[in-house]
Amino acid sequence: VRDVVARDVQPDLLGRQETSALLDNVKQHYPVVVDELIPNLLTVGEVQRVLQNLLRERIPIRNLLLILENLADGARASKDVDYLTEKVRAAMARHICAEYSENGLLSVITVDPRLETLLGEAVRRGEDAYALLDPGTVAKIYASLTKRVTDAQQSGLQPIVLTSPGTRLALKRLTERAAPSLVVLSYSEIAPGLRVESIGQVSTTEESPNEGAREPVGAGA
């Protein structure tokens, strides 16, 4: 059980048996939380898929109590696994930001509002953003992203893209073809009190409108 809560575990190694063992471990100390969630709100398989989603983006699942409590809250509104995953990620903001920030500062690549609009349209239509966008636009996005990532790495920074909560998953799925290990966060995953600085912007054109600029990012941006 200890092995499957590590950040570098392969998501596919977390099967239903392993998930059940994790739930049993939590139940020994917090029986009400597990009994409320399983099977009244979610199945073991649905919990498994959420945990796999977290692991797939290298988010550790050690704090299972926090995860399960937020799954119970979220499942009352929707049982959609993607929705539940995003809800859990928002609840884990401090844990996520602690991994990527330094001295209270998180340096990020922001997203052009025009691109967020395109992604939002894909979300509303329930489509894959990659399929919705024309190949030329996708190529420009990849070119812009590649340059921003290269600039960040040359500055000694880990490339992190920050976007709105409603488009985070769509952007992650769009960019994972070109950069599967790229970290994509949403504004709802920014811990209170953390300073956020933009080091560039990924857009639908090859040139970023904020070329070379570093600007503070507001939490409500």
Closest Cα partner for 66 from 99, 26, 38, 36? 26
Confidence of residue 12 (pLDDT cuts 50, 70, 90): confident
Quick one: average pLDDT of 82-91? 97
Model confidence over 39-49: pLDDT tens digits?
Answer: 999 999 999 99
Predicted TM-score (pTM) of the model is 0.86
Q: Give the pLDDT of residue 149.
A: 94
Closest Cα partner for 133 from 161, 83, 173? 173
Whole-number Å distance between alpha carbons of 110 and 100: 15
Quick one: average pLDDT of 6-22? 80
Phi-psi region of 156 (alpha: psi -120 to 50; beta: other; left: phi over 0): left
Model confidence over 101-147: pLDDT tens digits?
Answer: 999 999 999 999 999 999 999 888 888 887 888 899 999 999 999 99
Q: Give the pLDDT of residue 133.
A: 87
Confidence of residue 2 (pLDDT cuts 50, 70, 90): very low
Q: Give the pLDDT of residue 23.
A: 97
Phi, psi (degrees; rounded to nearest 5) at 16: -65, -35
